């Protein structure tokens, strides 16, 4: 699948492009959506899409600025612009700057699909041209197959024998294997990594799955070595000769049949530097002391409480605790199960935050969609952790921004609504219109206005009714209905609670030109 991002500041267009077009039929998957240019650029950096479908006029960073950034950072992404008629010449200029094409609004769906198909074809042709030469083809195929095998959630199948044999690994054998994930320092190119002694260099070359320029996973067969000696020798060798690496992360030894454990355990060990492990070589087993501690389950209610307190430290501590549970007793969870648990937590928090006691919006908001997609496309446990923690902290920051900066605005909007709809205004209706929960609105309203919502509405209705009572053409029962009371009795009771006098007495005194004294009340 070719990955694509959609960016448009108009939500209706953004959602229509995302949800109503059959992108999968042309081999395209929408992996993210953005409402402005800065957000789109961040998604391009993190998700590495081959195609960006973007409005040319957006807030924060417009289309030309976005395209320029993509070119400057050498991000391999083709840009298709959407342009209003008034921006036609602007779109033409964008093509000169390197955009793949532009499409005028209102969007012709057939033209849009045709343009994306042409872009997909261009991406595939570029990828084909970049394939290695004839002498490297066998190694390229073997590496691709080995990477797929290491990341597969399934155990090796009989047809995988040839792949493993090409790496000197016997699927039917009893020898243990061990894996190491090697990360190059950002300042140290991968080709500058120093050589290993003796025949180990050839073993490393033959048995390495290259995931990217700075990430490689090495498999080493123990050839009858014990588990302890294999782990000790392999760790010592790599730590001595790979000091130029940013990190070496080593799995436990396993039979070849458990090959999927290698990448999972290595990538879990990548969490250790975040938790204070200071050595450059990190073994999965080094976390044994922590992993054997009794970490209780992390429940959404605990995370929700930390978010509502805007306590980012507590949020991170809970995320750490949750991930430690994924590898207790030396057994790591299946990677897909880890992703599922993280996404389920986000969904649960979304429901609690948006519908119980916090700011609400569309449950399939752009932020949540992007967070779940980012989690779902990760292979490394450490990357799943990073994306999950980032999503939790965004929840925390969003809740804090609404609490600190949005409360006054929301209350002002609620007051405006009451003034325009005092006869029918209800807490539930206003909360729905403002995209907040009734509980949340009630709380911030009382804090801001120093009065409850219902009391404020009552006072405002009485205020309006006092003006109407001065007009002789209105009867009291008419006024009661005009300000939102079903009968005179309820209206009189509410009026007297506020004014200390019945509406009839207020009307009589007012008509006589008198003033209401404390004694008359």
Two tokens, residue 498: 């506020």
Residue 180, φ and ψ in degrees, nearest 5: -140, 130
Question: Would you state the pLDDT for residue 483?
Answer: 93
Question: Would you state the pLDDT for residue 4?
Answer: 94
Question: Would you state the pLDDT for residue 6?
Answer: 95
Instruction: Answer yes or no: are the C-beta atoms of 56 and 81 closer than 8 Å.
Output: yes
Question: Would you state the pLDDT for residue 434?
Answer: 75
Average pLDDT, the chain: 76
Using CB atoms within 10 Å of the CB of residue 282, give its burial: 0 to 12 exposed, 13 to 18 middle, 19+ buried.
buried
For residue 415, give every residue at least 6 positions away whose Cβ sits within 8 Å of its Cβ, in sequence order, or none: 449, 456
For 278-292, what is each residue's pLDDT tens digit?
Answer: 666 778 877 655 555
Instruction: Answer yes or no: are the C-beta atoms of 81 and 99 closer than 8 Å.
Output: yes
Average pLDDT over residues 327-349: 82
> For the ranges 153-157, 213-217, 288-292, which has the lowest average pLDDT?
288-292
3 state DSSP class of 350: helix
Residue 47, φ and ψ in degrees, nearest 5: -100, -15
**CATH architecture of structural domain 2-129:** 3-Layer(aba) Sandwich (3.40)
- Band (pLDDT 50/70/90 cuts) for residue 191 is very low
> For the ranges 48-62, 81-95, 197-211, which has the lowest average pLDDT?
197-211
Using CB atoms within 10 Å of the CB of residue 367, give its burial: 0 to 12 exposed, 13 to 18 middle, 19+ buried.
middle
Question: Would you state the pLDDT for residue 201?
Answer: 41
Two tokens, residue 63: 């289309």
> For the ranges 22-26, 143-147, 389-393, which has the lowest average pLDDT?
143-147
More confident residue, 159 or 112: 112
Task: Tell me which residue of 387, 385, 373, 388 sits closest to 270, measured CA to CA.
Answer: 385
The structural domains of the chain, with segments of one domain joined by +, span 2-129, 134-275, 297-405, 408-514
pLDDT tops 60 at residue 360: no
Average pLDDT over residues 92-107: 76
Report the range out of 162-171, 198-207, 319-328 with the highest average pLDDT.
319-328
- Band (pLDDT 50/70/90 cuts) for residue 422 is very high
Question: Would you state the pLDDT for residue 462?
Answer: 93
Largest CA distance in the chain: 112
Instruction: Answer yes or no: are the C-beta atoms of 233 and 176 closer than 8 Å.
Output: no
Question: Would you state the pLDDT for residue 238?
Answer: 67
Alpha helices in 402-452 (DSSP H): 407-420, 427-434, 438-449
For 440-462, what is each residue's pLDDT tens digit?
Answer: 788 878 887 888 999 999 999 99
pLDDT tops 70 at residue 156: no
pLDDT tops 60 at residue 424: yes
- Band (pLDDT 50/70/90 cuts) for residue 155 is low
Helix (H) or strand (E) holding 290: helix 288-291
> For the ranges 172-186, 267-281, 318-332, which has the lowest average pLDDT?
172-186
Specify the CATH number for 408-514; select among 3.90.1150.10, 1.10.10.60, 1.10.10.10, 3.40.50.720.
1.10.10.60
Spatial distance between the Cα atoms of 6 and 16, rounded to a whole number of angstroms: 10
Average pLDDT over residues 342-371: 64
Average pLDDT over residues 461-478: 90
- For 265-276, b/e burial (b = at least 16 CB within 10 A) is bbbbbbbbbeee
pLDDT tops 70 at residue 109: yes
Average pLDDT over residues 343-361: 63
Task: Tell me which residue of 335, 333, 320, 331 sits closest to 292, measured CA to CA.
Answer: 331
Angle of helix 63-72 relative to helix 37-47, nearest 10 degrees, comes to: 30
Cα 415 vs. chain centroid, distance in angstroms?
A: 34
More confident residue, 136 or 203: 136
Task: Tell me which residue of 323, 252, 253 sits closest to 283, measured CA to CA.
Answer: 252
Angle of helix 438-449 relative to helix 407-420, nearest 10 degrees, comes to: 90
Spatial distance between the Cα atoms of 69 and 53, rounded to a whole number of angstroms: 15
Spatial distance between the Cα atoms of 458 and 488, rounded to a whole number of angstroms: 15
Question: Would you state the pLDDT for residue 113?
Answer: 92
Write out the DSSP string of 41-89: HHHHHHH--SEEEEESS-SSS-HHHHHHHHHHTT---EEEEEE-GGGHH
Question: Would you state the pLDDT for residue 260?
Answer: 76
> For the ranges 210-224, 307-321, 331-345, which has the lowest average pLDDT?
210-224
Positive or negative CA dihedral for 242, 186, 143, 134? Answer: negative
Question: Would you state the pLDDT for residue 188?
Answer: 40
Instruction: Answer yes or no: are the C-beta atoms of 198 and 152 closer than 8 Å.
Output: no
Sheet containing strand 78-83, edge to edge, reads: 28-34, 2-7, 51-55, 78-83, 101-104
């Amino acid at each position: 699948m070719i990955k694509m991002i959609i960016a448009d500041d108009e939500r209706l267009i953004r959602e229509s492009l995302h949800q109503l077009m059959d992108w999968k039929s042309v081999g395209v998957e929408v992996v993210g959506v953005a409402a402005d240019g800065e957000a789109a650029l961040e998604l391009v950096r993190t998700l590495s899409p081959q195609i960006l479908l973007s409005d040319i006029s957006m807030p924060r960073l417009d289309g030309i600025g976005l395209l320029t950034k993509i070119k400057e950072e050498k991000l391999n992404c083709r840009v298709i612009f959407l342009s209003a008629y008034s921006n036609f010449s602007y779109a033409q200029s964008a093509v000169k700057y390197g955009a793949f094409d532009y499409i005028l609004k209102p969007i012709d769906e057939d033209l849009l699909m045709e343009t994306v198909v042409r872009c997909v074809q261009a991406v595939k042709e570029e990828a084909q041209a970049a394939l290695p030469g004839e002498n490297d083809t066998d190694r390229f195929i073997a590496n691709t197959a080995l990477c797929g095998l290491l990341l597969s959630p399934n155990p090796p199948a009989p047809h995988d024998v040839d792949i493993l044999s090409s790496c000197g690994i016997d699927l039917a054998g009893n020898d243990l294997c061990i894996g190491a994930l090697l990360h190059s320092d950002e300042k140290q190119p991968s080709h500058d990594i120093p050589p290993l002694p003796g025949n180990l260099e050839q073993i490393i070359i033959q048995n390495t799955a290259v995931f990217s320029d700075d990430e490689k996973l090495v498999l080493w067969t123990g050839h009858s070595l014990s588990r302890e000696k294999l782990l000790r020798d392999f760790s010592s060798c790599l730590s001595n000769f790979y000091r130029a690496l940013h990190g070496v992360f080593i799995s436990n030894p396993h039979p070849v049949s458990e090959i999927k454990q290698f990448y999972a355990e290595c990538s879990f060990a990548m969490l250790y530097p975040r938790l204070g492990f200071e050595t450059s070589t990190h073994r999965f087993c080094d976390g044994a002391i922590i992993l054997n501690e009794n970490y209780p389950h992390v429940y959404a209610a605990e995370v929700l409480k930390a978010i509502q307190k805007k306590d980012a430290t507590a949020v991170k501590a809970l995320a750490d605790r949750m991930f430690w549970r994924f590898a207790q007793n030396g057994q790591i969870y299946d990677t897909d199960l880890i992703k599922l648990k993280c996404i389920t937590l986000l969904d649960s928090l979304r429901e609690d935050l948006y519908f119980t006691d916090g700011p609400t919006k569309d449950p399939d908001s752009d932020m949540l969609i992007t967070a779940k997609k980012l989690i779902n496309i990760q292979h490394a446990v450490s990357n799943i952790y990073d994306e999950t923690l980032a999503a939790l902290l965004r929840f925390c920051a969003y809740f804090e921004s609404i609490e600190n900066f949005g409360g006054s605005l929301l209350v002002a909007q609620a007051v405006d609504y009451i003034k325009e709809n005092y006869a029918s205004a209800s807490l539930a209706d206003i909360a729905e219109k403002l995209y907040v929960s009734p509980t949340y609105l009630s709380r911030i309203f009382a804090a801001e206005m120093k009065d409850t919502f219902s009391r404020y509405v009552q006072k405002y209705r009485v205020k309006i009714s006092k003006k109407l009572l001065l007009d002789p053409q209105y009867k009291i029962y008419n006024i009661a209905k005009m300000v939102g009371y079903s009968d005179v009795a309820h209206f009189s009771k509410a009026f007297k609670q506020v004014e200390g006098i019945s509406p009839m007495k207020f009307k009589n005194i007012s008509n006589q030109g008198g003033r209401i004294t404390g004694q008359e009340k």
